[in-house]
Structure 1
């Protein structure tokens, strides 16, 4: 690509491209504001003029119009020829009463902890340290242990964002007809519920921290009598005796050293020939956009983990006693990395 400095109109276009990235902060803040105030719920019946929408939501009309106008440029809400605003397919997901609602997820992703952490990239470029640790004086997950409300928002937000993905993973992978599935770090159990619902011959164990499994989602008629919860730290030991172990969006939270602690705990619990399914993004090469490249910066800002390439996953799992047999793409940004215990 030609990197020669440009002039004239082309120069202005490139400057606009840079400005568009810089405006991302304001787009995220606008998204959070309308999500917190549940604006999408008030548009369920159809488009409304900004003043009427503001009246129903108890908001300031002129300010609401300006935020919606910006979000409409990103395909979130749309303005018609009469100046009324309505829902787009993306904005529909901001409603609190639709299946697969992203409302809680967007609230969580736009929390102050992320904005404050991202502001630390300048120092992180010099130090290599996680900006969250510098901003809050402790690692991310330690912080959650000190704030029950933040922990609850985290659990709810993760469940909201991963719900549709759970169904895709459960549908994509051919699970065995019988046996036990252990979902390690499985949160509230959305993935395990989806797997057990689709595979009536399987039983399951949800393994996570005590306060997380206490809010599980497994008590539904489709899974009755086929599940239990088990609390503990996956750095120390996990439930033994499973035939298939699940790790969904866990490895990307941690550096290689901590990942090896998790993987070795699983390896100690699983018999040779057992299956580990790591559900995570697999970074593609090249410069094309990919959701995981943005997600990687969240890992950089708040945690000590990162997104990985297929080669990096193979090396990491191999060091823990697993052999990657295949990588299965899904309809989501994540892949299913199938590994066998050797």
Structure 2
């Protein structure tokens, strides 16, 4: 019942970059307050609360230090959680969560009721929120990119088509790991404008293509990817996406779905929380392997296997039939 208090305290600490100020070692709340223009007594109390969550260590001399987990709050570290924190503690998600009571009655996202429009329409209308979202998605999935690139059996040559690939973090990792491959990054033009594929190391091995994956997809690829796309959408919308992708593929071409896979037997899984994020903001959901297989079968694919990774997501390998 205190969850929202911890989240609000975390957001405040993240917004004021307190972890960055502790990067060089322990400091008192008074020293931190002097460096950031904050109230020392209030800051001490908030840090003390977050120390109970393992993000900071409170010492007997009145100083606070970063724990191993707390280092992920820094803005200058690889794998920083800061963009994710700033997104998921944003008022967009707080207001959507407040609507869960109504969602239980209607099944409709609380976000739509709070803002009068769907989530992605709101992002399109608010560039600052869209930027926060894009940065958070890059941070959210960056750890999975290496895990997926390592877990999947990629061919030595050919073209990988990343459908809805965002800024291209996964495609970049794949092309870096497998120098015989080329790639196509397919997404909305606005998202592609901020892609991550530039650099001499990948020169001449990729291009971007703008479009809507509900209606079109690049043809002629040797391997297709859908990473963290289907969980954003209802079953009907997923079938539209998968059918569009299938029409672009030759028979026997492989499709790799990268998404969290919920256990079918009720075993606790971290993606259960992400499923509620989907419930309150979108009409998507996290799915079991059996639910993914049903969608794939109905859209012209055969599920071959499910590959776990070191990250939250698994890889479902399918084949066009």
| TM > 0.5 | yes
Name the residue aligned to 1:305: 284
3-state SS of 2:162 partner? strand
Name the residue aligned to 2:180: 201
How many residues get paired? 321
3-state SS of 1:279 partner? strand
Whole-Å Cα distance in 1 between the matches of residues 96 and 69 of structure 2? 27
Shift of 1:147: 1.1
Shift of 1:148: 1.4
Shift of 1:222: 2.2
Whole-Å Cα distance in 2 between the matches of residues 221 and 168 of structure 1? 24
Unaligned runs of 5+ in 1: 1-21
When normalised by structure 2's length, the TM-score is: 0.98
Which structure is higher in RCO with an 8 Å CA cutoff and minimum separation 6? 2
Whole-Å Cα distance in 2 between the matches of residues 231 and 90 of structure 1? 38
Mapping 1:1-342, distance limit 5 Å: 22-286=1-265, 288-342=267-321
Shift of 1:221: 2.4
Query: Structure 1, residues 55-93: CA drift from partner, whole Å, max 9, x if none?
Result: 112211111111111111111111122231111122111
Query: Structure 1, residues 114-151: CA drift from partner, whole Å, max 9, x if none?
Result: 00000001111111111111111111111111111111
When normalised by structure 1's length, the TM-score is: 0.92
Whole-Å Cα distance in 1 between the matches of residues 153 and 208 of structure 2? 23
2:144–2:312 CA contact under 8 A, matched in 1:
no
Shift of 1:54: 1.5
Whole-Å Cα distance in 2 between the matches of residues 244 and 61 of structure 1? 55
Name the residue aligned to 1:18: none
2:167–2:191 CA contact under 8 A, matched in 1:
yes
Larger deviation, residues 58-67 vs 319-328 = 58-67
Whole-Å Cα distance in 1 between the matches of residues 265 and 306 of structure 2? 19
Whole-Å Cα distance in 2 between the matches of residues 92 and 271 of structure 1? 46
Unaligned runs of 5+ in 2: none
Query: Structure 1, residues 162-199: CA drift from partner, whole Å, max 9, x if none?
Result: 11211111111121100101111111000000000000
Decide whether aligned partners of structure 1 residues 63 and 285 sit closer, same or farther in structure 2, where only a CA change above 3 A counts: farther
Shift of 1:286: 4.9
Whole-Å Cα distance in 2 between the matches of residues 291 and 299 of structure 1? 14
Shift of 1:97: 1.0
Larger deviation, residues 285-294 vs 79-88 = 285-294
Query: Structure 1, residues 12-51: CA drift from partner, whole Å, max 9, x if none?
Result: xxxxxxxxxx111011111111011101000000111111
